Amino acid sequence: MVSNFLLLQVAIDTIREMVSSYRRVTKQIKQSPGLPVSNPITPFWSIPASPIQKEGSSAALPASADVVITGSGITGTAFACTLLDTDESLDVMMLEARDACSGATAWNGGHITPLLYHDYLELKEKHGAEAAKQIIRFRLSHLDVLIGVAEEEGMDGREPVSKGGNI
């Protein structure tokens, strides 16, 4: 009888927690993401300005596109490249609030290596040592691809590129 009561209590607590989480997420979804700040940082790589930094910023937006991408940073650019590598005939439009790569990609200071050493112990405790190692390797798997793209585009050598120095 006691165990059934405890199971019921755990179920009720779980449902309450889920409802609370749902309400928080719903509230956040309904909030405006806001406009970009009026005094953005200036990333070191934007000085001197790149010839593509303001590419297309003065032109009128097209009436339509097959795909519209919000953001010209690493994620938006990688997605655009993947789409166009798959189908060159796609009409892809990329929207950016300011200059190219001036949003989240600018905020991180140009780092491409995730800081994983602090996550390993938590991952190991939660998923086991082997799974933790797999997760860490997955989180690092983008480096070779990203550096390869920089080499293909003739961008290697412009800035020092490092796969990281974490032990």
Asked whether residue 100 falls in the same domain as residue 119, the answer is no
Asked whether residue 105 falls in the same domain as residue 142, the answer is no
* Whether the Cβ atoms of residue 68 and residue 96 lie closer than 8 Å to each other: no
> What total number of domains does the chain contain?
2
Structural domain of residue 106, as residue ranges? 63-110
The answer on pLDDT for 152 being more than 90 is: no
The answer on pLDDT for 30 being more than 80 is: yes
Asked whether residue 92 falls in the same domain as residue 142, the answer is no
Residue 157 lies in a domain: yes
Residue with the larger pLDDT of the pair 109 and 80: 80
Please tell me the predicted confidence (pLDDT) of residue 48.
Answer: 84
The answer on pLDDT for 166 being more than 50 is: no
Please tell me the predicted confidence (pLDDT) of residue 81.
Answer: 92
Question: 34 phi and psi, to 5 degrees?
Answer: 85, 170
Asked whether residue 92 falls in the same domain as residue 116, the answer is no
Q: How are the residues of the chain apportioned to helix, strand and coil, as percentages rounded to the nearest 5?
A: 50, 5, 45
